[in-house]
Structure 1
Amino acid sequence: MPTATPIPLSPDVIEYVRGVFFDVNERVTARLDRMPTVHEETLDFAFVDAVAEAQGPHLLPSGTLVDIDVHFVGGGRHWDRWEVADIGFIVTFRLDNTLLRTKVVLLQSKRLYPRESEFIEDEGITRPGGFGSLMRPSLPASLGSRTFRFDEACRYKALQVGDTQWQAISHYEKEYNLPVHYLLYHPHSIPTQASIPVAIPLERPIAPPDVGAHVLSGEALRLLTREFSRNYAPSYGELRDGHGQVGYGLPEFVVGRVLSCLDGYVVDDATDNEGLRRVFSQRGAPIAAAVRMDINLPG
């Protein structure tokens, strides 16, 4: 994987980008806190929508222009119900409009399931019967009041060691030398619990997420799960490292790993790279959305 020396960025750029993804983390986490049975794709939509709030060019006091754009591909049924990546994150660095570097980060999203939740991602938000399916009450509502608990034993049920998607991602990384990272959605804190139906008025956490969205590289994930059997879904506790976290918190990952060029793929062959073309351009293996951040440093 190509590496490069970090491009120096002024403190206001770091703080602005950190703030954008701090808000993204809060928005996505709040959605999972409110409805613990929410579909994975809905959390991706929340991610994209929160990023879109910062869309367009923003001029910082240092004279740096940060321009964020979002290209939404869409959810629904995909090829064999999985993708190599759900969200593509592209960062371009410019000096007075001259391109210095392009970086790409591929994010495969997975959510943590509460103990009491059924595995429902096989259909996602695309349901048999189309519009007519919306006439039926949802399963949680039809079962009456229920409590859902998140703790260290809860599992990423759609993340299964050695399954078809797992193997495809591993093969993709080896064939194209493009790393894939897992964007893992968690509630605000662990342990915690939530009830359905949701009681109004809502009780919202005052403090920032203690857990929330975290990012773990595919390489690190395979290392942590190397002793597990095929189709085993790892738990939150099993993926925590020696620091007590699963990978990096979302704002820290973007600022401390991507902008500093410690993670992601440094692109020098964007138009000819078959791996990037397959993810971003082929409908057979799509992504839900692509996020582009253009950082234009003053001359």
Structure 2
Amino acid sequence: MGSGKAVELPAIPEEVIAWFCARFEEANRSVTENLINNPNTRETTLDDALLAPLQKQQAPVAFPSGVVVQMSVHNIGGLRRLYRWEVADIGVLVTVFQGHALRGQKIGVLQAKRLYPRNNEVLDDEQEDYKYGLNAFLVPDPASALAKMSMTFEFDEACRYGALPSGDVQVQTIETFVREFGAAVSYLFYNPADVPDTMHFPSTAYRTLVNPPPLGARVVDAKEVHAVLAGLEKGQTPTLKDIQHSTHQYRRLEEWAEELLRCRVGVPIDRSINRMVEQLLVRRSGPIGAVIAFSVALPGKD
């Protein structure tokens, strides 16, 4: 890697890929379960729900083959609410060693967008609310929670990703980033378990997902999403149907994770993209909210 030439990851054993995908399948189920029980929840809360199961197992894991892996999660929260230049919410960094020698690194980053219900009633973090911080709990909304005791949230393929308007400055920032550093960025779409679906307030029972959701969290390459947005009027937001039927790769979250380990998505890290890595990960004020670092130690000579 010293020459600055891009180096792809060496072959990763299938047992490791299966373990990695299983963790992201749990994350998919976690974030989707959160959404169907809290249909108006903040997008940042869904980010946390995705990361929560990944944080439960951060100790090193050894496989019979001699491979050792470790997943670490660092969540600092995004700054998009303060500055509209956030490139992604979650970065996934893969590092592979053989013995003590570094054999390769790869990164993929995910910009999360949630599907809005028909009534568009979604809690969101306005810039002023973000600056106000936890003080908001000391001065609550004067409207009683009882006023929202009777609400219906309907989801179908005509629902929109309400925080993804065509021509938005964040979209332009991501486009510039992709042109400079390559196809590292994908959109992560938070959806209900399936559509159509309807939730009601007040809730009468908690809905638990046992199996992988038929729809759930999906990942689409940024270029494909931006092509969809280019066909919309400025300020218009895409529907679930727009994204589902106008993109070639509509991966489940765990499928994207597998593709990352197989070097089919993301970009390898070398000197040519050091500035990108510094912008995303090194600075505390960087335009990313959380990092999932996955290290793989292969047996063998250095």
Question: Shared fold (TM-score greater than 0.5)?
Answer: yes
Q: Alignment partner of 2:256: what SS?
A: helix
2: CA distance, partners of 1:24 / 1:159? 23
2: CA distance, partners of 1:5 / 1:88? 18
Post-superposition shift, 1:156?
Answer: 0.5
2: CA distance, partners of 1:35 / 1:93? 38
- The 3 A distance-change label for structure 1 pair 144 and 82 is farther
Kindly indicate whether the alpha-carbon contact (under 8 Å) linking 2:9 and 2:96 is maintained by their aligned counterparts in 1. no
Given the alignment of the two structures, is residue 181 of structure 1 paired with residue 189 of structure 2, yes or no? no
1:80-108, Cα deviation, whole Å (9 max, x unpaired): 24511111110011222321110011111
2: CA distance, partners of 1:265 / 1:216? 15
One-letter amino acid of the counterpart of residue 204, structure 1: T
Given the alignment of the two structures, is residue 220 of structure 1 paired with residue 221 of structure 2, yes or no? no
Which aligned pairs between 1:96-111 and structure 2 lie closer than 5 A? Answer: 96-111=99-114
1: CA distance, partners of 2:144 / 2:87? 30
Given the alignment of the two structures, is residue 264 of structure 1 paired with residue 266 of structure 2, yes or no? yes
Kindly indicate whether the alpha-carbon contact (under 8 Å) linking 1:140 and 1:196 is maintained by their aligned counterparts in 2. no
Kindly indicate whether the alpha-carbon contact (under 8 Å) linking 1:176 and 1:274 is maintained by their aligned counterparts in 2. no
Given the alignment of the two structures, is residue 63 of structure 1 paired with residue 40 of structure 2, yes or no? no
Q: Alignment partner of 2:172: what SS?
A: helix
Q: Which moved more, 1:124-133 or 1:274-283?
A: 124-133
Post-superposition shift, 1:227?
Answer: 1.5
Structure 2: 5+ residue stretches without partners = none
Which aligned pairs between 1:209-288 and structure 2 lie closer than 5 A? Answer: 209-241=213-245, 247-255=250-258, 257-269=259-271, 273-288=274-289
Kindly indicate whether the alpha-carbon contact (under 8 Å) linking 1:151 and 1:192 is maintained by their aligned counterparts in 2. yes
1:35-93, Cα deviation, whole Å (9 max, x unpaired): 00010001111122221112121011222111111122234664424511111110011
Structure 1: 5+ residue stretches without partners = none
Which aligned pairs between 1:42-53 and structure 2 lie closer than 5 A? Answer: 42-53=45-56
Post-superposition shift, 1:246?
Answer: 6.8
Aligned twin of 1:164? 169
Post-superposition shift, 1:120?
Answer: 4.1
Aligned twin of 2:290? 289
Kindly indicate whether the alpha-carbon contact (under 8 Å) linking 1:127 and 1:133 is maintained by their aligned counterparts in 2. no
Match of 1:36 among 23, 34, 39: 39
1: CA distance, partners of 2:201 / 2:130? 22
1:90-140, Cα deviation, whole Å (9 max, x unpaired): 001122232111001111111111111335434287374743435536787
Q: Alignment partner of 2:220: what SS?
A: strand
Q: How many residues of Structure 1 are paired with residues of Structure 2 in the alignment?
A: 294
2: CA distance, partners of 1:42 / 1:203? 17
Q: Which moved more, 1:170-179 or 1:17-26?
A: 170-179
Aligned twin of 1:27? 30
Q: Which moved more, 1:49-58 or 1:172-181?
A: 172-181
Task: Give the TM-score, by structure 2 length.
Answer: 0.88
Cα root mean square deviation, aligned: 2.6
Match of 1:204 among 205, 208, 219: 208
One-letter amino acid of the counterpart of residue 161, structure 2: Y
Q: Alignment partner of 1:126: what SS?
A: helix
- The 3 A distance-change label for structure 1 pair 167 and 153 is same
Q: Alignment partner of 2:271: what SS?
A: coil
Kindly indicate whether the alpha-carbon contact (under 8 Å) linking 1:59 and 1:65 is maintained by their aligned counterparts in 2. yes
- The 3 A distance-change label for structure 1 pair 139 and 120 is farther
Post-superposition shift, 1:164?
Answer: 0.7
2: CA distance, partners of 1:66 / 1:153? 42
Work out the percentage of aligned pairs sharing the same amino acid: 32
Q: Which moved more, 1:89-98 or 1:245-254?
A: 245-254
Post-superposition shift, 1:265?
Answer: 0.9
Q: Which moved more, 1:125-134 or 1:30-39?
A: 125-134
Kindly indicate whether the alpha-carbon contact (under 8 Å) linking 1:87 and 1:291 is maintained by their aligned counterparts in 2. yes
1: CA distance, partners of 2:12 / 2:120? 44
2: CA distance, partners of 1:66 / 1:220? 33
Q: Which moved more, 1:187-196 or 1:220-229?
A: 220-229
1:226-249, Cα deviation, whole Å (9 max, x unpaired): 311111110000111379x97200
